Structures are given as structure tokens and as C-alpha cells.
Structure 1
Amino acid sequence: MKQGDMIIYACVIIGAGIGLMLDQAIPGVLVGLGIGYLIKHGLYKDKEQ
């Protein structure tokens, strides 16, 4: 598993946890997924060709 993918999965799980606290799990997962992709893109932007 690539480190960039682990960042996305971690953000999804954190988003799901926050969403469950607010009784909105699915939107929390989607927000976490979006944030995970943004973080991955920001960290690995220079390494991709």
C-alpha cells in the first residue's frame, strides 16, 4: 500500500468518526475523502510526472 493511499484512508476514517458524532456518517466520509485527496495532492505534487 502506498503512503499517499494511507493518507486518504486515514482522512476517510477520521471524517467518518466526526460524521458519526454528528449523526451524518456518509457526508463525513465524503468530506474526509475530499480532504484526503487534497492533502495527497499537496504532498506529492512535485513527485508525480
Structure 2
Amino acid sequence: METQNQNKNKVAGAIFIGCMFLGMGLGMYFDKMTMGIMVGMGVGFIASAIARAKL
């Protein structure tokens, strides 16, 4: 059971980091770095919560 929770956390963490970097890249592209990071983190938190609930 504990290994399954660790796997959920790893996947959720990877989703969060991926969304954050995607937001950072879009922020750089549109010259709005802070806004991109905030949007990326928000989407990352929501996506990681959904992934934890479904896995």
C-alpha cells in the first residue's frame, strides 16, 4: 500500500513540475515570466490533485 502512495506522489510531482516549466516557457515567450509561472503552478496543482485522486 505504501509503495502505491509513493508512486502516486512521484507521478503527481512530475505533473506539477511539468506544468510549472511549461508555464515558465510560455511566460518567457510572451515576456510575462511571473504570470506564466503562476499559471503553470495553478494548473500543476490542479492536475496533480486530479492525478492523485484517479491513480
Q: TM class by shorter-chain length?
A: 0.7 to 0.9
Residue 9 (str. 1) matches residue 17 (str. 2): yes
State the 4+ residue runs in structure 1 displaced beyond 3 angstroms: none
| Letter of the 1:16 counterpart | M
Give 5+ residue unaligned stretches, structure 2: 1-8
Higher Cα radius of gyration = 2
Q: Which has the higher helix share?
A: 2
Q: Contact 2:21–2:37 at 8 Å: present in 1 too?
A: yes
RMSD: 1.6
TM-score of the pair, normalised by structure 2: 0.74
TM-score of the pair, normalised by structure 1: 0.82
Equivalent residues, number = 47
Distance 1:23 1:12 in 2: 16
